[in-house]
Structure 1
Amino acid sequence: MTAQPAHEDATTSAPRCWCCGAERRDDELVHLGNHPEVAVCVGCARWLHRRATQLEDAQHPTIAGRWRSVVHSARTYVIDKGWHQRGVLGVLLRRIDRHLP
């Protein structure tokens, strides 16, 4: 009858995304280079990449950055209208979104 340390329970549970908190297998998470204890899921990594690109575009404006800004505005409009959740149209929009910056 020995007491179990509390930290053992945390290590036996499934790893979680530090961004959204979703439980994932370790091979489904992206680990940060100097901080391997920090990991995010692929969806959050994609979102972080888009945010980093927006910051870079704001700091160093280019024609490509303006095009990405237009795409971002269109993406925001579609999400605000809820079109991404509408049957076949939603499937098509989400598929297109995977290939846009």
Structure 2
Amino acid sequence: MTSAEEPAPTRCWCCDREYDERELVRLGAHPEVGICGACAVDIRQRAGQRQDELRPTWGTTVRTGVRRLREGVIARGWHQRPLIGPILRRINRHLP
């Protein structure tokens, strides 16, 4: 592949890290905005939290508990431990 064919590295508008163009998600109405996958997941979680704050239900209570549990795990650094860390990170991918 020649340098003319290689995608130019661009930056995520959220975390400011460099990524290839194919690794970024572009916003429909604002194609100049590119967000990496990790930031897109984080934004989705924060948007869900905001919706829960605006419209409380019994499901909101459950999701709030999950979020608090997640914050506790991160505060203690359990997600970085060699044995339990990969398991916790895998579980996190499937939680709201």
* Same fold by TM-score greater than 0.5: yes
Aligned partner of 2:89 in structure 1 is 94
User: 1:75 is paired with a residue of what secondary structure?
Assistant: helix
Bigger Rg, structure 1 or 2:
1
Pairwise mapping of residues 5-84 of structure 1 onto structure 2 (< 5 A)? 13-84=8-79
How far, CA to CA, are the matches of 2:28 and 2:73 in structure 1?
34
CA distance in 1, matches of 2:31, 2:65: 35
Q: Distance in 2 between matches of 1:48 and 1:67?
A: 19
What is the DSSP-based 3-state SS (H/G/I as helix, E as strand, rest coil) of the residue aligned with 1:40?
Answer: strand
Contact kept in structure 1, 2:8 and 2:21, CA below 8 Å: no
1:13 deviation in Å? 4.7
Per-residue deviation, 1:64: 1.5
- Higher strand share goes to which structure? 2
Provide Cα deviations, 1:35-63, integer angstroms capped at 9, x if missing partner: 10001101101100111111110000111
Measure, in 2, the Cα distance between the counterparts of 1:62 and 1:43: 28
Where 1:87 maps in the other structure, the secondary structure is coil
SS at match of 1:30: strand
Equivalent residue number for residue 5 of structure 1: none
> 1:8 corresponds to which residue?
none
If the length of structure 2 is used for normalisation, what is the TM-score? 0.88
Give me the CA root mean square deviation: 1.2
Q: State the identity %.
A: 48
Q: TM-score, normalised by structure 1?
A: 0.84
Q: Which runs of 4+ in 1 moved over 4 A?
A: none
Gaps of 5+ in 1: 1-11
